[in-house]
Amino acid sequence: MIMKKILSTLILIVVAISTIAQTTKPLVKPISKPKLVVGIVIDQMRYDYIYRFWDKYGNDGFKKLVNEGYFCKNTNYNYVPTYTAPGHASIYTGTTPAVHGIIANDWFNRVTGRTMYCAEDNNVNPLGTMAKEGKRSPVNMLTSTITDELHISTNMKSKVIGIALKDRSAILPAGHTANAAYWFDGSNGNFVTSTYYMTELPKWVQEFNKKELPKKYLTQSWNTILPIEQYTESLPDDNKYETISKGELKPTFPHDLEKLYPSNGGLGMIRGTPFGNTLTKDFAIEVIKQENMGKSGATDFLAISFSSPDYIGHYYGPNSIEQEDDYLRLDKELAELIKAIELQVGKGNALIFLTADHAAPEVPAYLMDLKIPAGYVKEDKMIDSLKKYLTITYGDSLVLSYSNQQVFLNHKVLEAKKLYIEEVQEDVAAFIQKFADVSEVITATTMNTSQFTEGTRYLMQKGYNAKRSGDVLVNYLPGYVEYMSTGTTHGSPYSYDTHVPLLFYGWNVKQGSSTEQIVIPDIAATLAMMLNIQFPNGCTGKPISSLVK
């Protein structure tokens, strides 16, 4: 009897446990996601600017990102040419020009027989301007972006917006499905967009434009933010390596902007001053507030590009007090922007990354004076010589264009003359290789039939698109550029152009740093892994292991 009671009790206990197990649902922790992702790209930022100006930065800009974020110190572009449009496209598509097709800022189009701009789109109309520069969209980019994939993953619930002074720097990061992209029109001082995104400029943008901030910022002098004698990281203010603006006798402080801007590009001159960064920051904060970024219920994405450092670098060079002052001021703009972001969504709820679209070399004239090998390539002379040689050899110059260090041959003439393209390409390559400033020359045939795994040829191949690139690709020696004798440019496969900072900060980012070799396409792959979404459809990058453990 006792045994029966014990057995009955055990059965009841088992039934009770089974019932509880069936009715009690396990606690499942929801997948954490940031409320807002903010991508910050600085146009023409060298890696060394982080440490070169470190002692003069405040605590809440660059230092905050380094001290509280994760610093990938060995980040490089893995293709050539290192220009603005390919840079922005590669950051956000997670691949290189070979795949996403943005091979330069502009390139020769064999179909139309003319040079085309990376973001041109004659099927859309400008909003906020009458200028043709408003006819812009991402239609020429061949792959999706991380911003596109975020949009798709949330069934278009996320809000995605791109902003910059340069149209390409706003449009390409925002992707094909963006809610909006806004850029600056120097002809009227407005932030504008196109009908690709909307039918009319939002009321709040119109109100922002009515403030006429560019005119306000240009009716002042640009003087150094610190006493000029403290700029010991730069060359003396008055030096021969800087470009002189119209209306100035020397490239020295103070720069009387109110006097200068009418004859130096009008309101567009703000791009070449630190106040272009201020204007960008002002507009970014207004976007965050007016578009209620980070409050959609899904992860939102704001892509910001600061364009002014590029204009200033081109004009004055990397060792100028102007560029140093620009970065000290930009540090303050970043501090204000980070504060506004965290005020909007709460500290720790925003994922911020900062990088650059390319770096920059020293002014070649400066290197030459230091007895370091460097110089200026005379492209016109080289191509004129090539055309004469081809005319003598084949009865026709055969050259349609030479742009972005690529020779485009006339395939129709080659076909009519029954010439083998491969043989003519090799002939052109051999001729150009003889020039003293040239490092190496590769034909399109070699690009299409060979696989390079290292060195500059590997970088050239990653920048080569079979349908858009030329017949013969040229690389110059280190330190050699095709540019004027003052200021600097960029575009080469060398570390002075490819090595850029990469910082992650905020949501789920632990403080630290790494010297692991990172390439720019890794950024989009890392973001995709952190957000648990698909990689962009052409992505060749790999997630940064230390950030996605």
Per-residue pLDDT band at 19 (split at 50, 70, 90): low
Per-residue pLDDT band at 209 (split at 50, 70, 90): very high
Kind plus residue range of the DSSP H or E element containing 526: helix 522-531
CB 98 within 8 A of CB 79: yes
Q: At 405, list the tokens.
A: 């260090």
List residues bridging with 194 in a β-sheet: 126
Question: Tokens 């800022």 appear where?
Answer: 105
How far apart, in Å, are the Cα atoms of 230 and each of 49, 55, 242, 324? 16, 11, 19, 11
Nearest-CA neighbor of 363 among 348, 375, 351? Answer: 375
Q: Is the pLDDT of residue 138 over 70?
A: yes
Per-residue pLDDT band at 17 (split at 50, 70, 90): very low
How many Cβ atoms sit within 10 Å of the Cβ of residue 403? 16
**Longest Cα separation, the chain:** 118
Handedness of CA 538, 542, 547, 549 (dihedral sign): positive
Q: Is the pLDDT of residue 20 over 80?
A: no
Distance, CA of 255 to chain centre = 28
Q: Is the pLDDT of residue 18 over 80?
A: no
Q: Which string of b and e fits 104-132 if b means at least 16 CB within 10 Å? A: bbbbbebeeeeeebbbbbeebebbbbeee
Give 454-473 as a 3 state SS string. Answer: CHHHHHHHHCCCCCCCCCEE
Nearest-CA neighbor of 173 among 212, 232, 116, 118? Answer: 118
Distance CA 328, CA 264 (A): 24
List residues bridging with 180 in a β-sheet: 161
What local confidence, expressed as pLDDT, does residue 32 receive?
87
Kind plus residue range of the DSSP H or E element containing 448: helix 444-449
Q: Which string of b and e fits 157-172 if b means at least 16 CB within 10 Å? A: ebbbbbbbbbbbbbbb
Q: What 8-state DSSP symbol labels residue 31?
A: P
Per-residue pLDDT band at 14 (split at 50, 70, 90): very low
Distance CA 369, CA 456 (A): 27
Q: Is the pLDDT of residue 300 over 80?
A: yes
Q: Is the pLDDT of residue 11 over 50?
A: no
What local confidence, expressed as pLDDT, does residue 12 receive?
47
Catalytic residues: 84
Tell me the pLDDT tens digit for each residue of 407-417: 999 999 999 99
Q: For the chain, give every residue range classified as CATH 3.40.720.10.
A: 36-363+492-547
Average pLDDT over residues 508-517: 97
Question: Tokens 């791109």 appear where?
Answer: 162
Distance CA 417, CA 397 (A): 12
Q: At 515, list the tokens.
A: 């010297």
Distance CA 524, CA 540 (A): 9
Distance CA 327, CA 330 (A): 5
Tell me the pLDDT tens digit for each residue of 313-360: 999 999 999 999 999 999 999 999 999 999 999 999 999 999 999 999
Distance CA 495, CA 339 (A): 33
Tally the C-alpha atoms within 13 A of residue 408's C-alpha that lie toward its C-beta: 19
Tell me the pLDDT tens digit for each residue of 273-289: 999 999 999 999 999 99
Kind plus residue range of the DSSP H or E element containing 256: strand 255-256
Tell me the pLDDT tens digit for each residue of 79-136: 999 999 999 999 999 999 999 999 999 999 999 999 999 999 999 999 999 988 899 9
Note the pTM of the prediction, 2 decimals: 0.94
User: What is the arrangement of strands in the sheet containing 75-76, beginning at the earlier edge strand?
Assistant: 499-500, 75-76, 518-519
Distance CA 288, CA 302 (A): 8
The CATH class for the domain spanning 36-363+492-547 reads alpha beta
Nearest-CA neighbor of 303 among 191, 139, 136, 181? Answer: 181
Alpha helices in 154-243 (DSSP H): 167-174, 203-210, 213-218
Tell me the pLDDT tens digit for each residue of 376-396: 999 999 999 999 999 999 999
The CATH code that applies to domain 375-477 is 3.30.1360.150
- Mean of per-residue pLDDT scores for the chain: 95
Q: For the chain, give every residue range classified as CATH 3.30.1360.150.
A: 375-477
How far apart, in Å, are the Cα atoms of 368 and each of 323, 371, 407, 440? 21, 5, 28, 22
- 3-state percent breakdown (helix, strand, coil) of the chain, nearest 5: 40, 15, 45
Burial (Cβ within 10 Å: 0-12, 13-18, ≥19) of residue 329 = buried
Question: Reduced to 3 states, what is the DSSP secondary structure of residue 539?
Answer: coil
Question: Reduced to 3 states, what is the DSSP secondary structure of residue 258?
Answer: helix
Question: Where are the strands (E) in 324-412, listed by range?
Answer: 350-356, 375-376, 399-403, 406-409
CB 125 within 8 A of CB 134: yes
Q: Return the higher-pLDDT residue of 12 and 471.
A: 471
